[in-house]
C-alpha cells in the first residue's frame, strides 16, 4: 500500500494556469473536513490492514486549514490506518500561509515534509500567473522552513513562461538554490484547456513560449541542479540523496493508494476510482451515503501503457519483462529509440537518456501497446 492522499479543494485565488479542482469560496471548509473524515472512516477497510508509508495533503491549498482540522485528519488516519513509524507526511503550503507559529503547529501534529509553491521569485511573473503571494513572502517562508528542522522539504518552480529567457531562468534557479532546498520540483508551464491562461492565449493576449525556449530552459535546469548535487529522478523532480518524494515515487511505481476528497483518485491494483470534482456534490454524496465517484477496471494493455507513461519519466525506467506480450511493434520502437540515442536498454529495462527526456511524452506514446 503506497499511501493515503487527502485533497483539500480550497484556494485564496485562482491561478490562471491551474486545472486542478479547487474553489475560492471558503465558507464550506468545516463541512468539507467533516466529509473527508467520514469518507476515510467508511473506506478504511480498503487499506486491508497493510502498512501505509506515506500521507500526502494536497490540493488546492491544505495550508488554508487550521491546526484543529489538520490534526483531526491526521489523528483519524493514525487511528484507522496502520501507519509506518517512519511515515512521510507531506503537506503542500503556499508562501502567504507560512508563519513561525504555523510551522510549529505543523510539526506538532506530525507533518514531516513541506512542499512550498514558490513558482517564481519575480513579482511580475507571480502576478501574471495569478498567484496570491509575492516574492518577499516566498523568501520569508523559505527562511523559516529551511531552519525549522523538517525531515525534508521541497519547493515548486515554473519555467517556460511567455517571454522567459534562459538568463532569467538561470537567475531564478540561483535564487532557489540559495535556500538549499533538499528537493525541487520544476514544471514547464503548459496551457491546459478550460483555464484562464487558455482563454488569454486564444484571445491572443498571451503568446505561449516556443518549444525550443522551453527545451533550452529544461536543459539548463538539469545542468544546474545536477551540478548542485541533485539527482534527476523524475522528469520534473530533483532530490538530494535521501530526499526523493516517497509518496510520488510510489505512484510512479504503480503501488495502490487511497485518495480522499473531491476529485481525488484511488487505485487498488486493479480498479481506478475518482471522486466527483465538485465540493457541494461531494459533501452531499458523502453525507447521504450515495455514490459520488466513478470507477473503471483498466485492461492489461491500459495498465501496461500507464506503466510506460509513468515509469519512463523516472530514472528507474520501465521493466520490459513486466509488460505483457511486448508487441513486435513496441520492440521495434525500443530499438529505434536506442539507435537514435533517446533510450538506453540495460538488461531488460529501458531508461530515457538526456536527449530522450526532451521527448519523454512522444517516446512514451510511441511505445504504447495497442493490442
Ligand atoms: S494555489 Fe495551487 S491549486 Fe490553487 S489555484 Fe493556484 S496552482 Fe491551483
Per-residue pLDDT for the chain (371 aa), expressed as one digit of tens each?
Answer: 779 999 999 999 999 999 999 999 999 999 999 999 999 999 999 999 999 999 999 999 999 999 999 999 999 999 999 999 999 999 999 999 999 999 999 999 999 999 999 999 999 999 999 999 999 999 999 999 999 999 999 999 999 999 999 999 999 999 999 999 999 999 999 999 999 999 999 999 999 999 999 999 999 999 999 999 999 999 999 999 999 999 999 999 999 999 999 999 999 999 999 999 999 999 999 999 999 999 999 998 898 899 999 999 999 999 887 776 666 768 889 999 999 999 999 888 999 999 999 999 999 999 988 86
CA of 60 to the centre of ligand 1 (A): 5
Which of 9, 21, 22, when mutated, tests ligand 1's pocket best, judged by the most ligand atoms within 8 Å of its CB?
Answer: 22
Is ligand 1 within 6 A of the CB of residue 263? no
Tally the C-alpha atoms within 13 A of residue 6's C-alpha that lie toward its C-beta: 32
Is ligand 1 within 6 A of the CB of residue 8? no
Indicate whether 323 and 225 sit together in one domain: no
Model pLDDT for residues 289-346, shown as the tens digit of each residue: 999 999 999 998 898 899 999 999 999 999 887 776 666 768 889 999 999 999 999 8
Indicate whether 16 and 98 sit together in one domain: yes
CA of 81 to the centre of ligand 1 (A): 29
Query: Torsion angle, CA of 344/350/353/358, rounded to 10 degrees?
Result: 140
Model pTM above 0.85 = yes
Give how far Cα 293 sits from Cα of 153, 155, 262, 296, 299, Å: 32, 32, 9, 10, 20
Is residue 267 situated within a structural domain? no
- What atom in ligand 1 is closest to the CA of residue 13? 5
Give the pLDDT confidence score for residue 331 in this predicted structure.
82
CA of 261 to the centre of ligand 1 (A): 16
Is residue 264 situated within a structural domain? no
State the total domains in the chain.
2
What sign results for the dihedral spanned by CA atoms 31, 61, 89, 309?
Answer: positive
Indicate whether 333 and 246 sit together in one domain: no
Model pLDDT for residues 51-72, shown as the tens digit of each residue: 999 999 999 999 999 999 999 9
- What atom in ligand 1 is closest to the CA of residue 59? 3
Is residue 138 situated within a structural domain? yes
Which one of 185, 217, 252 terminates a domain? 252
Is residue 218 situated within a structural domain? yes
- Cα–Cα distance measured from residue 313 to residue 309, given in angstroms and rounded to the nearest whole number: 7
Please give the residue range of the domain that contains residue 330.
300-367
Cross-strand bridge partners of residue 260: 6
Which of 117, 130, 196, 262, when mutated, tests ligand 1's pocket best, judged by the most ligand atoms within 8 Å of its CB?
Answer: 117
Which one of 235, 252, 269 terminates a domain? 252
Amino acid at each position: 500500500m503506497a499511501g493515503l492522499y487527502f485533497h483539500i479543494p480550497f484556494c485564496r485565488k485562482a491561478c490562471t494556469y491551474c486545472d486542478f479542482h479547487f474553489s475560492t469560496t471558503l465558507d464550506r471548509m468545516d463541512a468539507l473536513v467533516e466529509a473527508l473524515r467520514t469518507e476515510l472512516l467508511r473506506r478504511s477497510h480498503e487499506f486491508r490492514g497493510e502498512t501505509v508509508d506515506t500521507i500526502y495533503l494536497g490540493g488546492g491549498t491544505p495550508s488554508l486549514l487550521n491546526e484543529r482540522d489538520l490534526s483531526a485528519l491526521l489523528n483519524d488516519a493514525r487511528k484507522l490506518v496502520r501507519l509506518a513509524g517512519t511515515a512521510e507526511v507531506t503537506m503542500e503550503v503556499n508562501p502567504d500561509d507560512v508563519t513561525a507559529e504555523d510551522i510549529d503547529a505543523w510539526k506538532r501534529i506530525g507533518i514531516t515534509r513541506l512542499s512550498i509553491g514558490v513558482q517564481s521569485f519575480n513579482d511580475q511573473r507571480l502576478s501574471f500567473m495569478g498567484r496570491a503571494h509575492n516574492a518577499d513572502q516566498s523568501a520569508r517562508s523559505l527562511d523559516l522552513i529551511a531552519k525549522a528542522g523538517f525531515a525534508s522539504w521541497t519547493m515548486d518552480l515554473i519555467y517556460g513562461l511567455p517571454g522567459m529567457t534562459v538568463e532569467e531562468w538561470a537567475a531564478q534557479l540561483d535564487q532557489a538554490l540559495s535556500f538549499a532546498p533538499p528537493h525541487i520540483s520544476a514544471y514547464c508551464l503548459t496551457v491546459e484547456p478550460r483555464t484562464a491562461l487558455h482563454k488569454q492565449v486564444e484571445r491572443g493576449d498571451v503568446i505561449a513560449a516556443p518549444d525550443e525556449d522551453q527545451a533550452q530552459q529544461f536543459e539548463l535546469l538539469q545542468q544546474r541542479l545536477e551540478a548542485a548535487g541533485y539527482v534527476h529522478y523524475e522528469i520534473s523532480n530533483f532530490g538530494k540523496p535521501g530526499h526523493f518524494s516517497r509518496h510520488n515515487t510510489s505512484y510512479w511505481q504503480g503501488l495502490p493508494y487511497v485518495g480522499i476528497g473531491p476529485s481525488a483518485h484511488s487505485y487498488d491494483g486493479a480498479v481506478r476510482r475518482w471522486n466527483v470534482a465538485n465540493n457541494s456534490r461531494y459533501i452531499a454524496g458523502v453525507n447521504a451515503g450515495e455514490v459520488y465517484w466513478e470507477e473503471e477496471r483498466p485492461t492489461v494493455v491500459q495498465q501496461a501503457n500507464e506503466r510506460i507513461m509513468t515509469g519512463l519519466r523516472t530514472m528507474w525506467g520501465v521493466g520490459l519483462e513486466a509488460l505483457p506480450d511486448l508487441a513486435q511493434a513496441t520492440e521495434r520502437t525500443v530499438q529505434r529509440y536506442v539507435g537514435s540515442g533517446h533510450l538506453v536498454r540495460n538488461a531488460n529495462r529501458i531508461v530515457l537518456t538526456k536527449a530522450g527526456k526532451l521527448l519523454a511524452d512522444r517516446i512514451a506514446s510511441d511505445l504504447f501497446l495497442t493490442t
